Amino acid sequence: MMDSTADSTAVTETRLTHDVHRVATNLLVEAANRPSVPIGALAQLRDFLVAHLRHHHESEDHDLWPRISKIAPDATQGLDALSGEHDLLDAALDRLAATGLPGSDVENETFRTAVRDAAVAVRDTVHKHLDHEEPILFPALREHISPAEWTQFAQHVIATTPPVAGHLMIGFLDEVGTPAEVELVLSGLPEVVHPLVPLMRMQATDELRVLRGARS
């Protein structure tokens, strides 16, 4: 069994990522119901969620789950059940991605409605899945994944993350984590990205205000 104090980075980073997914899926539903939210902002948040949620669960299925199962075969059944829920999430994400691009005013209204309906399904699926996943995953991270193995996994995730509205991830992290927790997560970014973080943070703050219906 791993030392429970040695896995805090793994648990903290995973918890923050999950909380970002909760907040972001809530926001997409809320923003789709606000006529004042620009279509471009709505489409960007949609694209962010589709890309990042899919990448997150694929990283778990193809990388993290095998790491855990190799050390703890008894965990395989529970992880396989979580991968089955990932399939349900994929179907919901496919529907959200298929809402397309808006055009005329009439098409814009159709787009909002389609995004709202698909976003509700994604939100409900994500929230239910995380409620199932965390009681399985957090203990597994504490008991079976060493700090070095987590670092290797996290670096691969960062390197393969799709370049879709990455600034929004920083904005959401600021909302769900303490400054120290956010700094822990962002410390794993490539060095070339670090000087860009303040500008990305400002951009995210402005765009999240718009998505929440705040006036400038």
pLDDT in tens, 54-108: 999 999 999 999 999 999 999 999 999 999 999 999 999 999 999 988 775 557 8
**Whole-number CA gyration radius for the chain:** 18
- Locate 181 and state its tokens: 């927790």
Work out the percent of the chain whose per-residue pLDDT is above 70. Answer: 94
**Placement of tokens 């203990």 in the chain:** 139
Q: 10 Å Cβ neighbour count for 145?
A: 23
> Residue 93: exposed, middle, or buried by beta-carbon count in 10 A (0-12, 13-18, 19+)?
buried
Assigned domain for 216 exists: no
The whole-number pLDDT of residue 44 equals 96
Assigned domain for 80 exists: yes
Max Cα distance, the chain (Å) = 59
The whole-number pLDDT of residue 38 equals 93
* Res. 141: pLDDT tops 60: yes
The mean-pLDDT minimum among 93-97, 103-107, 152-156, 191-195 falls in: 103-107
What is the average pLDDT score of the chain? 91
* Res. 2: pLDDT tops 70: no
Q: Which domain holds residue 118?
A: 8-211
Domain count for the chain, please give it.
Answer: 1
Q: Which residues contact 164 (CB under 8 A, 6 or more apart)?
A: 47, 48, 51, 52
Tell me, yes or no, if the pTM score tops 0.85: yes
Assigned domain for 131 exists: yes
Assigned domain for 97 exists: yes
Q: Which residues contact 100 (CB under 8 A, 6 or more apart)?
A: 111, 114
